[in-house]
Amino acid sequence: SPLHDGAVVVEGDRILAAGCRLPISKHHLDPALGLRHRAAIGVTEESDAVALVVSEETGALALAHNGQLERDVDPARLERMLAVLLQPPRAEPLPFWRRTGARWLARRRLGPMSPEHDEEPAASAGRGV
């Protein structure tokens, strides 16, 4: 079959392409690694991809990410690793000074939002100061 060789590219829950050739790692790797493993390492060195390799000979699973290869991954561990690696990135929380500064600026521009945020003490309100 033409799809036997080459990679399958998946994004989300869709197959984008099949039978793809991937870049091979240029680093010195274990000579026992085959072309699939070298390509998995290579594509993860050059992109943010996560590559799953299924050994043609043994059916063993390997996972590559950031140019590193984890070999002989059992299905339960693979599921945990993919859950971590494929989760959407979290938005960076704003530093404290930016969060509090934004509130201060909003109060300054808009005035008090409610009586408990009133900047004038209640005792001085009737003195005619």
> For the whole prediction, is pTM greater than 0.75?
no
Do the Cβ atoms of 20 and 6 come closer than 8 Å? yes
Phi, psi of 35 (to 5 degrees): -65, -35
Per-residue pLDDT reduced to its tens digit, 25-63: 888 888 888 888 999 999 999 999 999 999 888 899 999
| Residue 105 in tokens | 């600026």
Question: What is the pLDDT at residue 129?
Answer: 45
User: Phi and psi at residue 122, in whole multiples of 5°?
Assistant: -65, -30
- The C-alpha atoms of residue 102 and residue 61 are separated, in whole angstroms, by 49
Domains in the chain, ordered, with CATH? 7-85 (3.40.1700.10)
- Segments in 18-127 forming alpha helices (H): 35-46, 75-85, 96-110
